[in-house]
Structure 1
Amino acid sequence: MFPKTTHILFFSLLTHLSAVAQTGSPAEPVRYVGGETVDPTVHEGRLRYAIGVESRQTVRVNRTHAEWADDHGWTYNHAPNLCYWNNTFYQQYLSNPVDEHISPGQTLITTSKDGRQWSKPTVVFPPYVPPKGVQIPDSSNGYMMHQRMGFYVAPNGRLLVLAFYGHAEDPFKEGGIGRVVREAYKDGSYGPIYFIRYTSHKTVNGVQWNETNTSYPFYKKSPDAGFIDACNALLSDKLMTFQWWDEDRGLDGFYNGKEGREALSYYRRKDGKTVALWKWSHSGLSSDNGQTFSKPVKVPTFVMAGGKQWGQRTEDGRYAICYNPTEYNEHRFPLIVVSGDDGILYDNMLIVQGEVPPRRFFGRWKDFGPCYTRGIEEGNGNPPGNDMWLTYSMNKEDIWVSRVPTPIRYTVSGPVADNFDGLTLNGGVTDWNIYAPQWAPVTVVNSPNGTGKCLELSDKDPYDYARAIRVFEEGNRIETKLKIRAAQNNTGTLEIDLTDRYGNRPVRLRFDEKGNIVVTNGSQEKVIQTYQAGKWYEVGFRVNASLNGSYDLAIDGKTVLEKAALAEAVKSVERLSIRTGPYRNLPNRKTPNEDPEPPLPGADEPVSPALFYVDDVRISTSK
């Protein structure tokens, strides 16, 4: 027997440890409580979609025709950032000729008024050139750009653009030089480049960076008092500048002794506490607006590797975290979102971006998939509407943006009747998930028959496709009708799938490049009839997804196939998928990532364009 005082101390200790370990505390700032996990064998991970996400490619690299891309032809593009200022989206990203962390490196910006049409990128921070007559130590590998944040909207309304210069191949600690800043003006031009902070580390040769041995002046030399005020406001914002920690570490006490990790993202909970999110599943908590943070801890329920995670409070008052839910560091897909009410507990793992197109150009550390996700930081603008805006790189090659409607949802109730007439030309497509590369856009257009509007899927990309997905009420008996019109019948394909919630494709139909309508009956493909260019066809499916399920197919009201076997056994269906190319699942987790390969043949040249129209989509469901 232990004395009574020992019992009291023991239970007091247990109570204390229980309080410390409470979810939402520094011991576990966040937790994923959902039951959904990723199947690593398929791109979509067998997850449901966050309904209505619109994903558009903003930069498509081109090595041969640089004038069609960024005028440089560089094929490593990564680490984008996003803000909204002066009624304009600003998207910043870094770029190297071929490989990650290999010089030279530069930073570019592209802008957009609506998030759909983006300007040609322009260089905002060029490759670093050391000052003449200054012997730069540690420079044998040249210089590179590296940044964890790109924008800051100051209290005086000025927009600052920022980036970090360092030595290749390691810009951290002794490899860093300093952070540069310039102002974006409302007329689309930019002010002079200044250093706003030099790294606190000395070089390996003991040199301390300052204005005498760097290529740009210190920001306080600016003749613009408003610019200096904006810079001072940023430097005093200890939460915003904590994003700089992993490039510098602050030997001079700049970070007030805070301990961080890589690639900070943060948001404020409803109780005022600030949640920090870093790579590799790490998180921390602050009760004083970021002046101090708890020691970063690894959150076991958030499975991820070295890709960035992004968290924010959404327009509906809830919270969302986006990341790649996989420990495969070289295979970062899909991009998902989880959401919750309080910024502590998260549920419902859903797809934001489930596509992984072929990587057209090999490069060192160019991981497969959509990765390094960033949104719009608190204070850096709020676009019209209730959407969450995200930016990321695809295969560390092309740059993308996704608009995620809130509240985030994954199910639909009731019948679908979409004729697109009420939509804005070139605008969003309500309740449809859109995947639109630059050379394969999805667009709301006037109908080619002269009445109403419809959805246009065009494609001239040799290695990618346009895709539109409509989620409908899940059921094992559904009836679907839609109208399809091809502008040609000798090039391009349009594939129509009905899928279940996991992405299995029991019903498949294709308008092929030979002018045939082809369907799948069990394991066999069958030509049903030919189709003509410029003519509308109404395609109707009646699907029974129960045991030994089947489907009937009608073209223009005439039944052309009865009780066809499903291509895959499913219990229900809930998605209509339309794309201008074949189903793909390569690269997969076994595809070598670092084996050098030549560029994909013809990657820089458009193919013969194909154009398809979709209209009058009607879907009804019975359980």
Structure 2
Amino acid sequence: MSVIMRLTSTLFRAFLLSTLGVGSCFAQTGSPAEPVRYVGGESVDPSVHEGRLRYAMGVESRQTVRANRTKPELSDGHGWTYNHASNLCYWNDTFYQQYLSNPVDEHIAPGQTLLTTSKDGRTWAQPQVVFPPYQPPAGVKIPTGSTGYMMHQRMGFYVAPDGRLLVLAFYGHTEDPFAEGGIGRVVREAYRDGTFGPIYFIRYNTLPTTDGVLWNETNTSFPFYKKAPDAGFVQACEALLANKLMTQQWWDEDQGLDGFFNLTNAKSALSYYHRKDGQVVALWKRSFVALSPDEGATYSEPVKVPTLVMAGGKMWGQRTDDGRFAISYNPIDIDEYRYPLVVVTGDDGILYDNMLLVQGEVPPRRFYGRWKDFGPCYVRGIVEGNGNPPGHDMWLTYSMNKEDMWVSRVPTPIRYEVKGKVSDSFDKLDLNGPVPDWNIYAPQWAPVAVVSSPGKPGKSLELTDRDPYDYARAIRVFEEGSRVEVKLSVYAAQTTGGLLEIDLTDRYGNRPVRLRFDAQGQIVATDGSTEKVLQAYTSNRWYALTLRANASLRGSYDLLIDGKEVLKGAALAEAVKSVERLSVRTGTYRDLPNRRTPNETPEPPLPGADEPVAASVFYVDDVQCKASK
């Protein structure tokens, strides 16, 4: 190439970069211009809750707090129905989950922060208030333009170098915690006996109020941390203040006019992880990502990554126990409809593939409130340094419809397919323990558990349901095939009032085979578009079911009950090419709310939402699945 041609090419490239704004066309993935990229071909179908995605196998999702307005003793003792912004840590052999709470609406006073604990991630204690609604000192007025006090925070825990656990939150003014008038960040120590130390301010907001007030120890309700008599507590606070990665999470509410933050053009709701070369990958809402080569001392310019589609829900990233990397988020660019919750994975913290489902359930929102978005919202995991629970699982926490709190345990390595025959008897599992390879969805009033089998030796999977608006669900992924045989045993503890739906589904969630034990004591199956009552069932008796499905040609299936053929050549309810999942559910299939359901239209609470209904109980055992092409 001649000198003239080389110069012309260089000038043309510079023109593209500076004038047309297409620098990313020449950016190396993994560099500050494009720190991460999703390279998978999967995307979400917004018409269904599950998004037509495959499941991340073995995810166990459990509700930790169920909001209750009229019977608060059945919930957190307060009856407030806006609950959101969960944070999680593992310390002292215990899970700690923190969340915000307001009576009805987001950003409307009063606000408080509560905390619940669990030894195993399945059974959770009744929440207790760790930061109460703010009461100003005598003579201190609410700033002009504010209507009261609220809480808002992007991080909740810090395990100090000496092993102490600090719990943190932020007090501000309604209705905008990011504007002038935020008061400051508070801290207290969690003790190993389950109690908590006094509340202190660890940092005051540096923005003056609309009335020109700057907050300090003279006009706030709690002392400054340096006044604490416990020198070890003060040292733990100093260690946190010196940790630039941890404190960068505070930027949303503070924005540090005093130069405290190293990245002053940060975006909202930071999470971060270290990739294999030691660089820190910083993730924010709305697809923004940056890199830090020096533990948060400096950052590259945050850039919007186009392959990570999302809106105002949080994005969570981490290195998983198997040495790989995972990012979890809501892959939809509409703020009001934050579902499903997915995970993408990769080997190097740069390239991500295989979009899989973590949480695809969207129960009805029982209580209207301002900005209470539908679905699993504001996902967070355990921040680096804040503990690592036993096992090789990724733990995620989020709110559902911004009213109930949840956790999901995601086994690693994260996978989505099975090879070979499935044979699950549950007999070797621990009572009330994990259920390997099963996806569990367990609200507090609709738990799923391994229990001693009724009427025979061994153990089985119990699905109980007392929830008037939700259900228990268990899903087993098996090898994908156009011809499958699925066997299972079912036991009903009642013949009236209970419902168990049994589906065989394909990889997209289509339900070609549908069978149910209905609330009138009948076993009903779908033959094409027709429902057929096959026989009555009795309580306290095991039924052996065999389903043989053929998805080839027009598709059909056979059903045997206790070895007797009761349905032969029944038409599939939907045309599919293959089948790969068994789903059992104590409620009917749902696809509402959908993305056309009004989100901000005031409505009364759902009738009877605070009252459990009579319990129905079903047991599942001896599950066998085999497939052929």
Report the TM-score range of the alignment, normalised by the length of the smaller protein.
over 0.9
Aligned to 1:244: 250
The yes-or-no answer on 1:621 pairing with 2:618 is no
Unmatched runs of 5 consecutive residues or more in structure 1: none
CA–CA separation in structure 2 for the residues paired with 1:447 and 1:146 = 46
Q: SS state of the match for residue 176, structure 1?
A: coil
The answer (yes or no) to whether the contact 1:258–1:292 under 8 Å persists in 2 is no
CA–CA separation in structure 1 for the residues paired with 2:263 and 2:66 = 41
Count of residue pairs the alignment pairs up: 623
The answer (yes or no) to whether the contact 2:263–2:299 under 8 Å persists in 1 is no
**How much is the aligned-residue C-alpha RMSD, in angstroms?**
1.5
TM-score scaled by structure 2? 0.97
The answer (yes or no) to whether the contact 2:142–2:148 under 8 Å persists in 1 is no
Aligned to 1:78: 84
Q: 1:340 to 1:15 in 2, by over 3 A?
A: farther
The yes-or-no answer on 1:425 pairing with 2:431 is yes
Deviation at 1:5, TM superposition (A): 7.3
Aligned to 2:64: 58
The yes-or-no answer on 1:310 pairing with 2:316 is yes
Q: Deviations over 1:568-608 (max 9, x none)?
A: 00000000000000000000000000000000000000111
Paired residue for 2:299, among 293, 302, 314? Answer: 293
Task: Look up the equivalent residue of 2:274 and give its one-letter code.
Answer: R
Q: What is the 5 A alignment of 1:190-269?
A: 190-269=196-275
Task: Look up the equivalent residue of 1:323 and give its one-letter code.
Answer: Y
CA–CA separation in structure 1 for the residues paired with 2:610 and 2:24 = 59
Task: Look up the equivalent residue of 1:365 and give its one-letter code.
Answer: W
The yes-or-no answer on 1:451 pairing with 2:452 is no
CA–CA separation in structure 2 for the residues paired with 1:66 and 1:349 = 38
Deviation at 1:172, TM superposition (A): 1.0
Aligned to 2:195: 189
The yes-or-no answer on 1:461 pairing with 2:467 is yes
Deviation at 1:137, TM superposition (A): 2.3
Aligned to 1:533: 539
TM-score scaled by structure 1? 0.98
Task: Look up the equivalent residue of 2:501 and give its one-letter code.
Answer: E
Deviation at 1:8, TM superposition (A): 7.7
CA–CA separation in structure 2 for the residues paired with 1:317 and 1:327 = 30
Instruction: Spell out structure 1 runs of 4+ moving beyond 3 A.
Output: 1-5, 7-20
Unmatched runs of 5 consecutive residues or more in structure 2: 18-22
Aligned to 1:150: 156
Paired residue for 1:612, among 618, 623, 626? Answer: 618
The answer (yes or no) to whether the contact 2:24–2:33 under 8 Å persists in 1 is no
Task: Look up the equivalent residue of 1:602 and give its one-letter code.
Answer: G
Mean Cα displacement is larger for which, 371-380 or 443-452?
A: 443-452
CA–CA separation in structure 1 for the residues paired with 2:181 and 2:625 = 58
The yes-or-no answer on 1:114 pairing with 2:115 is no
Deviation at 1:155, TM superposition (A): 0.2
CA–CA separation in structure 1 for the residues paired with 2:6 and 2:132 = 69
The yes-or-no answer on 1:471 pairing with 2:477 is yes
Task: Look up the equivalent residue of 2:583 and give its one-letter code.
Answer: S
The answer (yes or no) to whether the contact 1:148–1:264 under 8 Å persists in 2 is yes
Mean Cα displacement is larger for which, 507-516 or 11-20?
A: 11-20
Aligned to 1:411: 417
Q: Deviations over 1:323-344 (max 9, x none)?
A: 0000121010000000000000
The yes-or-no answer on 1:178 pairing with 2:184 is yes
CA–CA separation in structure 1 for the residues paired with 2:6 and 2:586 = 75
Give % identity: 74
The answer (yes or no) to whether the contact 1:310–1:373 under 8 Å persists in 2 is yes
Aligned to 1:557: 563
Q: 1:301 to 1:18 in 2, by over 3 A?
A: closer
CA–CA separation in structure 1 for the residues paired with 2:565 and 2:263 = 73
CA–CA separation in structure 1 for the residues paired with 2:566 and 2:105 = 53
The answer (yes or no) to whether the contact 2:455–2:540 under 8 Å persists in 1 is no
CA–CA separation in structure 2 for the residues paired with 1:459 and 1:18 = 52
Q: What is the 5 A alignment of 1:6-45?
A: 6-7=7-8, 9-10=10-11, 21-45=27-51
The yes-or-no answer on 1:369 pairing with 2:375 is yes
Aligned to 1:434: 440
The yes-or-no answer on 1:123 pairing with 2:95 is no
The answer (yes or no) to whether the contact 2:82–2:103 under 8 Å persists in 1 is yes
Q: SS state of the match for residue 326, structure 2?
A: strand
CA–CA separation in structure 1 for the residues paired with 2:134 and 2:24 = 52
The yes-or-no answer on 1:354 pairing with 2:360 is yes
The answer (yes or no) to whether the contact 2:145–2:210 under 8 Å persists in 1 is no
The yes-or-no answer on 1:160 pairing with 2:161 is no
Aligned to 1:100: 106
CA–CA separation in structure 2 for the residues paired with 1:4 and 1:551 = 68
Task: Look up the equivalent residue of 2:398 and give its one-letter code.
Answer: Y
Deviation at 1:47, TM superposition (A): 0.3
The answer (yes or no) to whether the contact 1:20–1:27 under 8 Å persists in 2 is no
Task: Look up the equivalent residue of 2:192 and give its one-letter code.
Answer: K
Task: Look up the equivalent residue of 1:440 and give its one-letter code.
Answer: A
Q: SS state of the match for residue 343, structure 2?
A: strand
Aligned to 1:499: 505
Deviation at 1:449, TM superposition (A): 1.8
The answer (yes or no) to whether the contact 1:258–1:293 under 8 Å persists in 2 is no
Q: Deviations over 1:267-315 (max 9, x none)?
A: 0000010001000111111111111111111110000000001000000
